[in-house]
Amino acid sequence: MIALLFVLFIATMGLNYFNITKAGNALFFVTLAICIYWLKFHATTPLTIQL
């Protein structure tokens, strides 16, 4: 699923390139929200904190 985050940011850059910046900004913050979810997931998963 982390690959999807890269894809969404690439899409954001694409929208910005074609001057659809409002949609680009919206997609940026949606993607960032998903990023925070995955940070929470991977930073608190037992495997990660078990080392």
Partner 1 sequence: MTPELSRTLNAIGMLAVSLVLALAFFYQLVLYELPCPLCLLQRVGFVAVGVGLGLNLLYGARPQHYAIVLIAALYGGSVSIRQILLHIVPGTGHYGSPVLGLHYYTWAGIAFFLVLLGTSIMLLFERQYVGSSDHEPRFGGNTLAKIAFFVMLALAVLNAGSTLLECGPGICADPPTSYKLIDELDAGN
Task: Write out the residues near partner 1 by the rule CB under 8 A.
Answer: 1-3, 5-7, 9-10, 12-13, 16-17, 19, 21, 24-25, 28, 31-32, 35-36, 38-39, 41-43, 45, 47-49, 51
Spacing of C-alpha 5 from chain mean position = 4
CA-angle at 4, arms to 35 and 34, nearest 5°: 20
Q: How far is the CB of 27 from partner 1 (least distance, A)?
A: 9
In degrees and rounded to multiples of 5, residue 45 shows phi and psi of -65, 140
Q: How far is the CB of 22 from partner 1 (least distance, A)?
A: 11
